[in-house]
A = this chain, B = another copy of it.
Amino acid sequence: MGQTWDAAIKDQLRRVDELMEESIASSQPELTEICRHILDSGGKRLRPGVCILAFLASGGEDPSKIIRTATAFELIHSATLLHDDINDDSELRRGQLTAHRRFTVPKAIIAGDFLFVQGFRLGGTLDEEVVNAIADACNAMAEGEFIQSDHERRSETSMEVYRRIIEGKTAKPIAAGARVGAYLAGADSPMIEAMGGYGLNIGLAFQIADDILDIEGDESRTGKVSGIDIYEGKPTLPIIMAMRDDDAGPRVQEIFALKHKSDADVAEALDLIRSTDVLELCREHAREFVHEAKEYLEGVPPSRFRDSLTALADYVLERKL
């Protein structure tokens, strides 16, 4: 305890990075360059981390068995980041110009496809259960993105729809990684379910934390402009809750539903949301999911890897980037 969540698996995460680097080799140097661009902006390797820790905490002994799968999840996640940035026409990711802005949309689309394929190449050479779990996670992401796209600028979007969106695009994929980790460790089905429940709940907390950051974020630390979700009309938890606020609600709804928003509109909505207690309520929601995630860990035998999973759950709430 007291250690960072990834301290116990530094070696394995380094091997994930090495395997990713191998996986993006291509006869086209620029294709490799685009892939490296997105992998380098990919953050803390949370997804492979969950997968590896779930494997080790479930009694998995030979970590080399989990590296390929963990890497597959991260490659596929990176593929979706490339395509999401195109779909949102985002300008920055972690303070860097996004791939499609730097290398053109066609090349970023193709590079995303390439990363998907390399992910499946790694994950697909395992057994059918694993392939199906990865494919299910991908489908959940596609479906989550679809629902989100259908609710853009729709101020009446419900909490239940929000839940379906973030389950699909974030929580189910992380849960899949945790389940596959336990499965490959040879765990029994209660353990696999426990890991799946843990993964789902930290995924939900993670996405809410992300949505909070877009409202309160310090741009110099998040590496992207604040208020993007408002600007793009994405119904996130703080935005949905603020739109139901007696005072701020009507005007936030009005701005949220605008097809074309000025910077002043977005700034006004940000100020309005920040003037409510919505961000604190959202943090409370995220804390509840983290609490639930930790409850799932109670069925897992004590080990330093279980401690890391606990630390990871707390990290999800603290992270600023």
A interface residues, Cβ below 8 angstroms from B: 26-28, 30-31, 79-80, 83, 86-87, 104-107, 109-114, 116-118, 120-121, 123-125, 128, 131-132, 135, 138-139, 142-143, 145-147, 149-150
A7 to chain B, nearest CB (A): 34
Beyond the given A87-B110, A111-B142, A121-B135, could you list 8 further A-B residue pairs with CB under 8 A, ordered by the A residue number?
A26-B139, A86-B109, A87-B106, A106-B149, A110-B149, A113-B113, A113-B138, A117-B139
Asked if A118 contacts B143 (CB within 8 A), the reply is no
Report the Cα distance A132→B118, complex, angstroms.
9
Specify the chain B residue showing the minimal Cβ separation from A29: B146
Asked if B143 contacts A26 (CB within 8 A), the reply is yes
Asked if B147 contacts A28 (CB within 8 A), the reply is yes
Report the Cα distance A278→B26, complex, angstroms.
34
Asked if A110 contacts B146 (CB within 8 A), the reply is yes
- Given known pairs A31-B143, A128-B125, the reply for A135 and B117 (CB within 8 Å) is yes
Give the residue of B118, B120, B123, B146 whose beta carbon is less than 8 angstroms from that of A28: B146
Give the residue of B104, B106, B111, B132 whose beta carbon is less than 8 angstroms from that of A121: B132
Smallest CB-CB A-B distances: 7 pairs: A124-B124, A87-B106, A121-B135, A120-B120, A117-B138, A124-B131, A125-B128
Give the residue of B30, B83, B120 whose beta carbon is less than 8 angstroms from that of A109: B83
Specify the chain B residue showing the minimal Cβ separation from A146: B28
A22 to chain B, nearest CB (A): 13
A180 to chain B, nearest CB (A): 14
Q: Give the chain B neighbours of A147 by CB distance below 8 A.
A: 28
Q: Give the chain B neighbours of A125 by CB distance below 8 A.
A: 124, 128, 131-132
Asked if B135 contacts A118 (CB within 8 A), the reply is yes
Specify the chain B residue showing the minimal Cβ separation from A142: B114
Report the Cα distance A9→B104, complex, angstroms.
42
A291 to chain B, nearest CB (A): 29
A29 to chain B, nearest CB (A): 10
